[in-house]
Amino acid sequence: MRLLKTIIKWSLITLVPVLIGVAFLYSTLSKKINKDLVASLLEAKKNIRVDIDDVRPSLFTGKVNLEGILIGPRDANADNGVLLDQRTKPSPSDTRIIISKISLKINLIDYLFGKLSIRSLIIDGLDLSYYVDANGDHSLDPLLDPPRYINGVINPEYEIKKKRRELAKLKRKLKSDEDDFLRESFNASEFPMPTTLSELVIREGGVSVRLEKSGNNVFFSNIEGDITNFDVDPNNLRDHNSAYLKLSSNLKVTGADARSEYASFDLKASGTIKPFDPSSGFLNPDLVTDITVLEGSKILSLPLATRLASTLEQLEKAGLDVSVIDDELVIGRETTFSLGLKNYVIRAVDALPVIINGNQLIIDQGSWLNTANDEHLINASFTFSEDISNKTFEKSNEYLSEIVGKGVASAVSELIFSPVTKNGNIYIPFVSSGDFNRPKVRPSVVLKDMADAVKEGLKKDPLSILKGILDR
């Protein structure tokens, strides 16, 4: 799920290559392209500091290569337009974008007719790092604001954007209309002209995210993939507002020390995106994607699973081994499912079946997670394997035989397990809600404890129960 959250941020970052494209075209026409010009054009648009080792253009083919790109928080060097070679080293920051190399190819003819056509954009060696604070705010967001100073002169757009963001944050804390806080994000009107990108290729990418609320870290490594057919016309978003995404990556979730590993997934994603809200123009990706989780992916700790296991104490007393739920969870079969994303809410487009440790977890269609605040509502079911189910029934009969006798043990066991048995296997439907990191989990069926089952059996057939006790 955090992968989709990162995709949102990547939609924001697509602005950077667009600005680079504009910078290249401007400078091509003036025949003065160099790394200082590219950096100054980018820094005049966004609240960032840009460092570039080298820029190599080809004016005749529309190609440009950039090497050693660092994008981070703005400082006095950027505010005052200091030349790159005269700048002091940037301060260390946990919010930054490092790219080894960018290869860009632009259609110069289209630009002359008022259209920015990027034929290809290849990003090698991406290293993106940011954090999410306890309120759900991303440290990347301020970088996308207008700068406060441009060449030492105050920029009036800065205060306007700052006030808009502060108001948006307040409304979000008050759980106001979601559309209000979307307005702090990038707007399609910031594109200088209709823009197409035939292919954006990411090679050897990595993303690290620190989650201050939970103290966990999320790492995406070995990111490989592309975004194709990116088409945005700020004046006609209903007809020109689309892209196709295809990515693969390894996802790891660790504790605060970055050593305690909670999950490791090998993922593939592919799907269509509508990046902007057609009515407002604000960035609000409408995404439907197929997510494939490869066999062998594992979860070492899942709050939802732990909470579910804790609610099954009555069945555990009757012989059910609940440790398989909150133990290390290993994906036993490659699984593909469809997820949707809009208004920062991930939703299950179809039911999501996953084989875990030989058992089956099914998340029902319509279940959702709000990535802005981690609120969620998941309707799901956990079906124990045939082997575990049969062993549970046998163990239950043996245990109950010691209490009520062999003659009626099976009847009492049936009273306990019949509400949670489906097709011969133990089946636990449940609901999870609230904060995803501290979920409220409850079974969707009434669980009968052993004492109540014995009492009910006694009421139905007191003589058999009594005979069973005497026969022990």
pLDDT, tens digit, 9 for 90 and up, residues 239-262: 998 989 898 999 888 887 767 777
Q: How many residues does the chain have?
A: 472
Answer whether residue 334 is part of any domain. no
pLDDT tens per residue across span 181-206: 444 566 777 777 788 888 889 999 99
Answer whether residue 130 is part of any domain. yes
Residue 147: its H or E element: none
The confidence score (pLDDT) of residue 8 equals: 46
156 and 62, same structural domain? yes
In order of 201, 258, 263, 374, 384, the CA distances from 356 in angstroms are 33, 25, 13, 24, 10
Contacts of 356 (CB under 8 A, 6+ apart): 299, 329, 330, 331, 332
Contacts of 147 (CB under 8 A, 6+ apart): 43, 44, 45, 46, 47, 48, 74, 78, 79, 155, 158
The confidence score (pLDDT) of residue 180 equals: 47
Per-residue confidence band for 113, with pLDDT thresholds at 50, 70 and 90:
confident
**CA–CA dist 472, 469 (Å, integer):** 6
226 and 80, same structural domain? yes
Single-letter residue type at 210: R
- Across the range 271-278, mean pLDDT stands at 86
Answer whether residue 115 is part of any domain. yes
The confidence score (pLDDT) of residue 21 equals: 57
Task: Give me the chain's average pLDDT, please.
Answer: 81
Residue 33's SS3 state is coil
254 and 229, same structural domain? yes
The confidence score (pLDDT) of residue 28 equals: 53
**CA–CA dist 223, 226 (Å, integer):** 10
pLDDT of residue 30 exceeding 60, the answer is: no
11 and 75, same structural domain? yes
| Tokens 């124990």 belong to residue | 384
The confidence score (pLDDT) of residue 420 equals: 92
| Tokens 């993939």 belong to residue | 225
140 and 55, same structural domain? yes
The confidence score (pLDDT) of residue 216 equals: 83
pLDDT tens per residue across span 434-467: 988 789 999 999 887 777 666 666 665 555 555 5
**CA–CA dist 227, 63 (Å, integer):** 19
The confidence score (pLDDT) of residue 278 equals: 86
Per-residue confidence band for 7, with pLDDT thresholds at 50, 70 and 90:
very low
pLDDT of residue 235 exceeding 70, the answer is: yes
- Across the range 133-159, mean pLDDT stands at 83
Number of folded domains that form the chain: 2
| Angle between helix 15-30 and 2-13 (nearest 10) | 20
The confidence score (pLDDT) of residue 54 equals: 93
**CA–CA dist 150, 26 (Å, integer):** 18
The confidence score (pLDDT) of residue 171 equals: 60
Contact yes or no for 330/302 (Cβ under 8 A): no
362 and 283, same structural domain? no
289 and 403, same structural domain? no
The confidence score (pLDDT) of residue 461 equals: 56
The confidence score (pLDDT) of residue 5 equals: 46
Answer whether residue 358 is part of any domain. yes
Single-letter residue type at 421: T
Answer whether residue 261 is part of any domain. yes
Residue 274, strand partner residues: 286
- Greater confidence, 134 or 47? 47
* Strand duo 116-132 + 195-211: pairing: parallel
**CA–CA dist 4, 371 (Å, integer):** 9
Contact yes or no for 73/97 (Cβ under 8 A): no
Per-residue confidence band for 32, with pLDDT thresholds at 50, 70 and 90:
low
The confidence score (pLDDT) of residue 258 equals: 66
**CA–CA dist 465, 462 (Å, integer):** 5
Among 275, 83, 86, 282, residue whose Cα is nearest residue 185: 282
Contacts of 130 (CB under 8 A, 6+ apart): 9, 94, 95, 96, 138, 139, 140, 208, 209, 210
pLDDT tens per residue across span 383-418: 999 999 999 999 988 887 877 777 677 778 888 888
Q: Phi/psi at 377 (nearest 5 deg)?
A: -145, 110
**CA–CA dist 93, 399 (Å, integer):** 60
314 and 216, same structural domain? no
Query: Per mean pLDDT, which of 5-9, 52-56, 367-371 is the most reliable?
Result: 52-56
- Greater confidence, 71 or 197? 71
Answer whether residue 335 is part of any domain. no
Single-letter residue type at 460: K
432 and 407, same structural domain? yes
Q: Domain of residue 231: give its range.
A: 2-293
The confidence score (pLDDT) of residue 346 equals: 86
pLDDT of residue 468 exceeding 80, the answer is: no
Answer whether residue 411 is part of any domain. yes
The confidence score (pLDDT) of residue 203 equals: 92
Lowest-confidence range among 121-130, 138-147, 238-247, 451-460?
451-460
127 and 104, same structural domain? yes
Per-residue confidence band for 72, with pLDDT thresholds at 50, 70 and 90:
very high
- Across the range 233-242, mean pLDDT stands at 89
Among 133, 16, 114, 73, residue whose Cα is nearest residue 374: 133
SS (H, E, C) 214-240: CCCEEEEEEEEEEEEEEEECCCCCCCC
pLDDT tens per residue across span 302-353: 788 888 998 998 888 888 888 888 777 788 888 888 988 887 788 999 998 8
**% of the chain surpassing 90 pLDDT:** 25
In order of 321, 390, 392, 419, the CA distances from 424 in angstroms are 17, 8, 12, 12
**Which of 105-109's residues contact partners 24+ apart within 8 Å by CB, and which partners?**
105/61, 105/62, 105/63, 106/21, 106/24, 106/25, 106/62, 106/63, 106/64, 107/62, 108/25, 108/28, 108/62
Lowest-confidence range among 60-74, 121-135, 290-304?
290-304
The confidence score (pLDDT) of residue 165 equals: 64
Per-residue confidence band for 12, with pLDDT thresholds at 50, 70 and 90:
very low
Single-letter residue type at 249: S
The confidence score (pLDDT) of residue 260 equals: 76
**CA–CA dist 445, 361 (Å, integer):** 16
262 and 387, same structural domain? no
| Angle between helix 462-470 and 386-404 (nearest 10) | 80
pLDDT tens per residue across span 165-179: 666 666 655 554 444
- Greater confidence, 389 or 469? 389
pLDDT of residue 3 exceeding 50, the answer is: no
The confidence score (pLDDT) of residue 441 equals: 94
Per-residue confidence band for 280, with pLDDT thresholds at 50, 70 and 90:
confident
Answer whether residue 309 is part of any domain. yes
247 and 186, same structural domain? yes
Q: Which of 234, 269, 293 is the last residue of a domain?
A: 293
